[in-house]
């Protein structure tokens, strides 16, 4: 599929895409599982690449720099949410793909050779971070990093439980360890124990079906990050939190 990039404005960055992660929501959109897909669609919202061109007003990036783009590429800039840097809650936010740009053209995502993105929604990637490893940070990574920062779940030495060990849970372990937390992976079986402890270097592993171990772990955690992607009861896990836990 071939399409023309939208015209570059003064605030835009043109990015040559090098890698793009695959998020489960890309599959949901591709298969129209939410009933809101428009085709032809170019998914991809864990985009990393290199700056090739800059609009006349862009000062914070240079040609050749490594950058990333996540799931939003625009917002109204005027509402309360935008004024508080919470553009993700703006009612006029623009999704990276399957949405409409300010100029009326469809947005197309990162499974492409290039993108034109407003500088406000472009982030710099450190030169020493391999680009292919940076890509999943743009969605899965920020999905855990953002609430941890927002709710102050970052105090080194505190005990953090990560519920579920899929794409997001795996990021949760890495980021929680980077904050210096003691990390317990909580999973329904012991299938992922080796991966959690040996590969991701979690500190402990708790099987939620083991009633005795769950009882022993009651009120032992300061924080819990729930990354289980299906509806499930919270009560068994809330009992693991200390009073005033997060
Ligand atoms: Zn995603
Ligand atoms: Zn807004």
**DSSP per-residue letters across the chain:** ---PPPPP-TTEEEEEEEEE---HHHHHHHTTTTS---SS-----SEEEEEEEE-TT--S--TT-EEEE-SEEE--SSSHHHHTT-GGG-TT-EESSSSB-TTSPBP--SSSSEEEEEGGGEEE--TTS-HHHHGGGGTHHHHHHHHHHHTT---TT-EEEEE--SHHHHHHHHHHHHTT-EEEEEESSSTTHHIIIIIS--SEEEETT-HHHHHHTTT-BSEEEE---S---SHHHHTTBPTT--
Q: 219 C-alpha vs ligand 1 centroid, how far in Å? A: 32
What is the SS3 assignment for 137-169? HHCHHHHHHHHHHHCCCCCCCCEEEEECCCHHH
Q: Are residues 146 and 129 in the same domain?
A: no
Q: Tell me if 49 sits within 8 A of 17, measured CB to CB.
A: yes
Q: Are residues 134 and 213 in the same domain?
A: no
> How many structural domains comprise the chain?
2
Q: 236 C-alpha vs ligand 2 centroid, how far in Å? A: 38
Q: 29 C-alpha vs ligand 2 centroid, how far in Å? A: 24
Q: Are residues 17 and 134 in the same domain?
A: yes
Q: Tell me if 221 sits within 8 A of 240, measured CB to CB.
A: yes
Task: Out of 138, 159, 188, pick the residue that ends a domain.
Answer: 138
What's the pLDDT at 92? Answer: 97
- The answer to the question of residue 46 being in a domain is yes
Q: 137 C-alpha vs ligand 1 centroid, how far in Å? A: 10
Predicted confidence band at 178 (pLDDT cuts at 50, 70, 90)?
very high
Q: Are residues 103 and 168 in the same domain?
A: no
- State how far the Cα of 132 lies from the Cα of 207, in Å rounded to an integer: 32
Share of the chain above pLDDT 90, in %: 100
Q: Are residues 118 and 169 in the same domain?
A: no
What's the pLDDT at 216? Answer: 97
Q: 72 C-alpha vs ligand 2 centroid, how far in Å? A: 12
Q: 93 C-alpha vs ligand 2 centroid, how far in Å? A: 7
Q: Tell me if 39 sits within 8 A of 59, measured CB to CB.
A: no
Q: 120 C-alpha vs ligand 2 centroid, how far in Å? A: 13
pLDDT tens for residues 24-76?
999 999 999 999 999 999 999 999 999 999 999 999 999 999 999 999 999 99
Task: Out of 138, 154, 175, pick the residue that ends a domain.
Answer: 138
Q: 142 C-alpha vs ligand 2 centroid, how far in Å? A: 20
pLDDT tens for residues 70-126?
999 999 999 999 999 999 999 999 999 999 999 999 999 999 999 999 999 999 999
- The answer to the question of residue 163 being in a domain is yes
Which residue has 């005990």 as its token pair?
Answer: 159
Q: Are residues 151 and 126 in the same domain?
A: no
What's the pLDDT at 155? Answer: 98
Q: Any idea what the CATH number is for the domain that residue 180 is in?
A: 3.40.50.720
Q: Are residues 17 and 123 in the same domain?
A: yes
Task: Note the ligand closest to the C-alpha atom of 92.
Answer: 2
Task: Out of 109, 138, 167, pick the residue that ends a domain.
Answer: 138
- Report residue 146 as tokens: 């953002």
Task: Note the ligand closest to the C-alpha atom of 89.
Answer: 2
Adjacent-strand bridge partners of 142: none
Q: Are residues 86 and 151 in the same domain?
A: no
- Residues, CB-to-ion distance under 5 Å, ligand 1: 23, 25, 139
pTM of the predicted model as reported, rounded to 2 decimal places:
0.91
- The answer to the question of residue 82 being in a domain is yes
């Amino acid at each position: 599929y071939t399409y023309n990039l939208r015209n570059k404005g003064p605030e835009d960055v043109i990015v040559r895409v090098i890698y793009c992660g695959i998020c489960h929501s890309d599959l949901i959109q591709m298969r129209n599982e939410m009933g809101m897909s428009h085709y032809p669609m170019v998914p991809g919202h864990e985009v990393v690449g290199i700056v090739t061109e800059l609009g006349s007003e862009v000062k914070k990036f240079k040609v050749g720099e490594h950058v990333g783009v996540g799931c939003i590429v625009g917002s109204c800039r005027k509402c309360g949410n935008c004024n508080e840097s919470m553009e993700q809650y703006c009612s006029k936010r623009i999704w990276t793909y399957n949405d409409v740009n300010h100029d009326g053209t469809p947005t197309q995502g990162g499974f492409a050779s290039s993108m034109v993105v407003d500088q406000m929604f472009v982030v710099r990637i450190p030169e020493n971070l391999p680009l292919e490893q940076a890509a999943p940070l743009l969605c899965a990574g920020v999905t855990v990093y953002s609430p941890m920062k927002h709710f102050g779940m970052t105090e080194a030495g505190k005990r953090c439980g990560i519920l579920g060990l899929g794409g997001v849970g795996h990021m949760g372990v890495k980021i929680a360890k980077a904050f210096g937390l003691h990390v317990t992976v909580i999973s329904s079986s012991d299938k992922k124990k080796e991966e959690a402890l040996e590969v991701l270097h979690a500190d402990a592993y708790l099987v939620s079906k083991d009633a005795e171990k769950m009882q022993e772990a009651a009120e032992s955690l300061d924080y819990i990050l729930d990354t289980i992607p299906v509806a499930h009861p919270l009560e068994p896990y809330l009992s693991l939190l200390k009073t005033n836990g997060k």
